[in-house]
Amino acid sequence: MEAVAPVGTSVPRVDGVAKVTGRAQYLDDLDAADAWHGATVRSQVAHGVLEAVDLDPAFDWSQVTVVTSADIWGRNSILLLEEDQPALAPIGGKVMHKDEAIALVAAPTRALAFAAAKHVRPRITPLPAVFDIREALAGAQILYGSDNVFKQFVIRKGHASDAELEAAFARAAHVIEGDYFTSPQEQMYIEPQAMMAEWRGATCLIVGSMQCPYYVHKAMKHFLACDADGVVITQAVTGGGFGGKEEYPSMIAAHAALLARKSGHRVKILYDRDEDIAATTKRHPCWTHHRLAIDDRGEILAIDVDAVMDGGAYLTLSPVVLSRGVLHAAGPYRCAITRVRGRVIATNHPPHGAFRGFGAPQTTFAYERQIQKLARLRSEDPLALRHRLALRVGDTTSTGQLLEFSVGTDEVLGAIARVAGPAPARDGVNQHGAPVKRGRGVCFYFHGAGFTGSGEQRLAGRAVVAAVDGRFEVRSSSTDIGQGAITMFSQIAAAALGVEAHHVTVVDPSTAQVPDSGPTVASRTCMVVGQLVERAAGVVRGKLEAWAAARGVRGSLHDLARAYADVERRELAEIISYEPPPGIRWDDATYTGSAYPVYGWAACLVDVEVDLDSYEVHIARCVQAIDIGKAINPTIVKGQIEGGTLQALGWAVLENIVYKDGKVANASMTNCIVPTFADAPDLETILVEVPYPFGPSGAKGVGEIPMDGPAAAVANAVEDALGCAFDALPISPEAVGKARAQWEQK
């Protein structure tokens, strides 16, 4: 028996050496000296009618290809959930937001392409634009449907009518009510969006930076009006995604394909950083109104939430983001009567879209601020209060889902309590000699792993494990975007096969050679696709062993695979499709039942130091304890948690997108800032493993959960330090300064 690199050990990343030596080939590193460069002409008007696209007659167009909506022979829409978003604003039709794509140019050099783009002149007749969600709700301008509501949900538990809900509030000893605002956030992957297209006969070949090859495939089939073989999508090494390369790459693929077809050249589109920040999707800003009814014993009688998100100008993934937001909005707390309402609204902002956490960070911020206010009201220890109210096995969630297993509440809260230590002294002086106020905040939260409701069943993801020429291959469309998917898959497959990890190759995701395993999103890659890989590997092992037994062949599985290849002269491949775990029931009409197959559970502790001269909030300490079921590769899991945690801390105190008249006013890394090494505290990470019976080796999702909680923990800590509430993000020096009159009195 060969040694196995077991699941649960931190084997080095498969792609580690390629990345530290600079050999990994991202899209712009591919040898493509012959490729032309594409550039995008964008609207500087937020809402209007595109009358015409004129070309500057003084410019030399002889070496430039220009494409407008008139060149689209298929369907002018980027298909995802709906068909409302065009690839290029239609001439004679509407422009819906600033920086919307209107025309494209391609030229032999990037410099010429960008110069030419400046000489394309859209003629737009402006219409009144709407940027405020309240104005959009009031119907100032109708941008979508009849009421600007892209999607709404109402989830009810324990009451039949609004009157019954209000009766519960009337019975309450205390009602805690608040409005919470979270800001838009840029993913800021360090590799900007990048895509290349080439036509070989009637087949379009797309390679690029992306999370979801089959999303691009679906959109391109629709856009090009071709069948499944008419377009091949291949992921290049991808320099970060965080949701930002979930839906938008389909748009750039469409653009590159148009330019390549018309110019007759391979065409590469690389976004400038400024363009990427201005035009591509960001986290939905959200306004959450939250009410808690509390009885005289401090139990939660009723929860009522109303969350409103700004979807921007097109629907994109907004209904699904809203869904995750509302499904998490009541929080991981016991409560018999809950109502959660959610709406996502059309405005003339550039579309908001997928970003790690996907709606849950917004509503988590609201409920964890509310729970903190409850702790202050009752003068109860914040951790003890959460421990007292938290969901456990046997309880039901806001959708009526009975929690039967893998609830890590006690483990994560206990882990934080054990390491917390004494709270920092309130008053002090920092290293710059400035007076500071210190405070501590905690939060407790959960995150559903995998797709919502019946999503996984509808998707029916597939993965293949194959014995090929004495080696083993994993074929799936799950991409490695830095999160370690290929390393994790090779560990899962190797363990199930009983071979060394280096005998397993994870095939590069291309729609020509891997099945559709579903998108690389929703914390589903390890739990859902990893489980398909584990099952497929188990079947391949069984079949190889049976084949060998029938022929008296002995040896390791690796030896058997070699013998099989020698004798049979073909591969032994097993394709496995998703099957829901037992007991999953979900009703899309009432939004009740098993919202997710399982949840991750987490607790976070943050100590802050507020500089009373500069008003900066310094994160002095951050501890996260997260129940992820099983860490397939603990170092990789730790890296996922710490990366998500810092994105959340950045969102809490320094990241922001500033819109001015519908345009991103800070579209540059100089003023759209993210945390640097110097901004980040040392991060303390505690891995908690309460196994999920239907995940690979017990694993649940990990990618998103660390993003959900820390912002609330920071706000709770700042409230502890200064004695006044901070209910909007970011808690920037400007925000602390504005609240000065409040905290100076404390």
Partner 1 sequence: MSLGRGNPIAMKITLEVNGAPRTVEASPWKRLLDVLRDDLRLTGTKEGCGEGECGACTVVLDGEAVNACLVAIGQCGDRKVTTVEGLAHGEALHAVQRALVTCGGAQCGICTPGIAVCAAHLVDHKLITGDDTATARAKVRELLAGNICRCTGYQLIVDAVIAAARELEAR
Binding site residues, partner 1, CB under 8 A:
10, 12-13, 15-26, 28-29, 31, 187-192, 237-242, 272-273, 481-484, 635-636, 638-639, 641-647, 668-670, 674, 676-678, 680, 682-683, 685
If phi over 0 gives left and psi between -120 and 50 gives alpha, with beta otherwise, what is residue 569?
Answer: left
Q: Which two structure tokens, joined as six digits, stand for 105?
A: 């140019």
Q: Tell me how far, at minimum, the Cβ of 54 lies from partner 1, in Å.
A: 27
137 CB-contact burial (10 Å; exposed 0-12 / middle 13-18 / buried 19+): middle
Question: Which H/E stretch holds residue 471?
Answer: strand 471-475
For residue 699, which of 451, 530, 501 has the smallest C-alpha distance? 530
Reduced to 3 states, what is the DSSP secondary structure of residue 438?
Answer: strand
For residue 40, what are the β-bridge partners?
104
CB closer to partner 1 out of 238 and 398: 238
The span from the CA of 241 to the CA of 356, in Å, is 9
Q: Percent helix, strand, coil in the chain (nearest 5)?
A: 30, 25, 45
Check if the beta carbon of residue 579 is closer than 8 Å to that of residue 387. Answer: no
CB closer to partner 1 out of 16 and 435: 16
CB closer to partner 1 out of 359 and 639: 639
CB closer to partner 1 out of 21 and 161: 21
Q: Which amino acid is at 57?
A: P
Q: Tell me how far, at minimum, the Cβ of 619 lies from partner 1, in Å.
A: 11
Reduced to 3 states, what is the DSSP secondary structure of residue 474?
Answer: strand
Helix axes 485-497, 530-551, angle to 10 degrees: 30
Can you give the three-state secondary structure of 481-538, one letter per residue?
A: CCCCHHHHHHHHHHHHHCCCHHHEEECCCECCCCCCCCCCCCCCHHHHHHHHHHHHHH
Q: Tell me how far, at minimum, the Cβ of 637 lies from partner 1, in Å.
A: 9
The span from the CA of 134 to the CA of 564, in Å, is 66
Q: Tell me how far, at minimum, the Cβ of 539 lies from partner 1, in Å.
A: 31
What is the full DSSP assignment across 203-247? EEEEEES-S-HHHHHHHHHHHHT--GGGEEEEEPB-S--TTTTTS
CB closer to partner 1 out of 241 and 357: 241
The span from the CA of 529 to the CA of 563, in Å, is 29
The CB-based long-range contact list for 164-167 (8 Å cut-off, 24+ gap) reads: 164/337, 165/302, 165/304, 165/337, 165/339
CB closer to partner 1 out of 238 and 401: 238
CB closer to partner 1 out of 315 and 649: 649
CB closer to partner 1 out of 26 and 615: 26
- If you search the block for the tokens 């909680």, which residue do you land on? 709
Q: Tell me how far, at minimum, the Cβ of 492 lies from partner 1, in Å.
A: 18
Q: Tell me how far, at minimum, the Cβ of 121 lies from partner 1, in Å.
A: 24
Q: Tell me how far, at minimum, the Cβ of 110 lies from partner 1, in Å.
A: 9
What is the rounded (10 degree) CA torsion for 207, 209, 213, 216?
-80
CB closer to partner 1 out of 16 and 264: 16
CB closer to partner 1 out of 275 and 534: 275
CB closer to partner 1 out of 468 and 669: 669
CB closer to partner 1 out of 158 and 706: 706
Q: Which two structure tokens, joined as six digits, stand for 564?
A: 């099989």
Q: Tell me how far, at minimum, the Cβ of 674 lies from partner 1, in Å.
A: 6
Q: Which residues contact 570 (CB under 8 A, 6 or more apart)?
A: none
CA dihedral (655, 245, 32, 35) positive or negative: negative
Angle at 600 (CA atoms; ends 598, 605), nearest 5 degrees = 160
ω before 424 within 30° of 0 (cis)? no
Check if the beta carbon of residue 700 is closer than 8 Å to that of residue 598. Answer: yes
The span from the first CA to the last CA of the chain, in angstroms, equals 69
CB closer to partner 1 out of 24 and 687: 24
Looking from the CA of 537 toward its CB, the CA atoms found within 13 Å total 31
CB closer to partner 1 out of 640 and 697: 640
CA dihedral (241, 247, 252, 258) positive or negative: positive
For residue 536, which of 569, 570, 497 has the smallest C-alpha distance? 497
CB closer to partner 1 out of 188 and 605: 188
Q: Tell me how far, at minimum, the Cβ of 96 lies from partner 1, in Å.
A: 28
CB closer to partner 1 out of 209 and 511: 209
CB closer to partner 1 out of 26 and 61: 26
For residue 101, which of 157, 163, 62, 43 has the smallest C-alpha distance? 43
Check if the beta carbon of residue 64 is closer than 8 Å to that of residue 50. Answer: no
Q: Tell me how far, at minimum, the Cβ of 609 lies from partner 1, in Å.
A: 14
